[in-house]
Structure 1
Amino acid sequence: MHGTIFTLLKRYVQTQYDHSTWVNLLEASGLSATDFNHKNVYPDEHLYRLVGEAATMTGLSADELHEKFGEYLVPDLMYMYQKLVKPEWTTLDMIEHTENTMHRQVRAEHAGNTPPVLNVTRLSSDELFIDYVSVRRMGALAVGIVRGLAKYYDEADQIEVEPTTSENGEHVRIRVRRVSR
């Protein structure tokens, strides 16, 4: 897992709770000496342990935490990859182009970077399916990112996000559509 994810997770925990919560989370996960660097790649197990301990601490499920974190990530991700994003894109356009823009860039930066594969099928100007494929089984994070994109593009009240399969499988299908409200 890319170190940027851990850096942003630390900031998320500190802003949603406080610094001592982050320290307690690291200690409970057995990672107390770990200082994550955004330029490195870390074992996925680190993230699983952190999220598992956070679920225990908060009483929320791992999927709920992944979704909340996914929403939180969007402004930073959009800032990091702003040069790849076309100004005329909407939420659905962004999703449609993520694999061939942002994910391609992430993979090119470091051989250890392995974002999920997003196979997007655009059904119409207002609807698409995302087929999320990853051995990490973090489809809930993708659902959160989609919701965060809708907020980013000021379309949150118009975008419906519906996982049509379990969010913690290696293959997750997510339906996204724009509706009139």
Structure 2
Amino acid sequence: MHGSIFTLLKRYVQTQYDHSTWVQLLEASGLDSGDFDHKTVYPDEHMYALVGKAAEMTGIPAETLQEKFGEYLVPDLMYMYAKLVQPEWRTMEMIENTEKVMHKRVREEHSENAPPVLDVTRVSANELLIEYVSRRRMGALAVGIVRGLAVYFDEADQIQVEPTTREDGQHVQIRVRRRA
């Protein structure tokens, strides 16, 4: 997983809790250092260990933590990819263009980068269906990012996000509806 995600996870833990919680989380996860380079790709197992231990430490299910972290990520992701985002895009358009614009760029930057595959279908003017597929099994993170996009674009009261399948988190279907 890309180092920038680990860097943002560190900041998330430090802002939601504190620095000592981050240090305790690293120790409990068996990781030597919490200094992640944003340009390096790290083993997915590092993220699994961190999320799993965070769930144990907080009593919050890992899936819920992933969703909350996904929501938290959005402003930073929007900043990182600002040059690729069209000014007229809102929540639905961002979702529709993530795979062919942002994920394409991520894959081009480094051959080891492997963001999830998002197959987005426009069901109607007010509805999208996202097929999330990733061996990382972090569909809840994607759900959180979609919710975070709605907040970012000030559409949270208009956008309904509903994961319709959970399975093992590797293949998750997410329905996104704009209330008419």
Per the normalisation by structure 1, the TM-score is 0.97
Secondary structure of the equivalent of 1:162? strand
Distance in 2, matches of 1:164 and 1:34, equals 35
The letter of the residue matching 2:161 is V
Whether the aligned pair in 1 keeps the contact of 2:3 and 2:42 (CA below 8 Å) is yes
Whether the aligned pair in 2 keeps the contact of 1:2 and 1:38 (CA below 8 Å) is yes
The letter of the residue matching 1:11 is R
Q: Is 1:146 matched with 2:141?
A: no
Distance in 2, matches of 1:11 and 1:56, equals 19
Runs in 1 of length 4+ with deviation above 2 angstroms? none
Partner of 1:20: 20
CA-based RMSD = 0.9
167-176 or 140-149, which deviates more = 167-176
Partner of 2:77: 77
Q: Deviations over 1:146-180 (max 9, x none)?
A: 00000000000000000110164321100001004
Residues 107 and 115 of structure 1: CA distance in aligned 2, closer, same or farther (over 3 Å): same
Q: Deviations over 1:31-58 (max 9, x none)?
A: 1334210010000000000000000011
Distance in 2, matches of 1:133 and 1:84, equals 23
Q: Is 1:55 matched with 2:49?
A: no
Partner of 1:116: 116
Whether the aligned pair in 1 keeps the contact of 2:70 and 2:144 (CA below 8 Å) is yes
Whether the aligned pair in 1 keeps the contact of 2:140 and 2:169 (CA below 8 Å) is no
Identity %: 74
Q: Is 1:68 matched with 2:99?
A: no
Partner of 1:104: 104
Q: Deviations over 1:110-169 (max 9, x none)?
A: 001000000000112210000000011100000000000000000000000001101643
Per the normalisation by structure 2, the TM-score is 0.98
Residues 54 and 164 of structure 1: CA distance in aligned 2, closer, same or farther (over 3 Å): same
Q: Deviations over 1:69-114 (max 9, x none)?
A: 0000000000000011001011000000000000000000000100
Give unmatched runs, 5+ long, in structure 1: none
Give unmatched runs, 5+ long, in structure 2: none
Partner of 1:128: 128
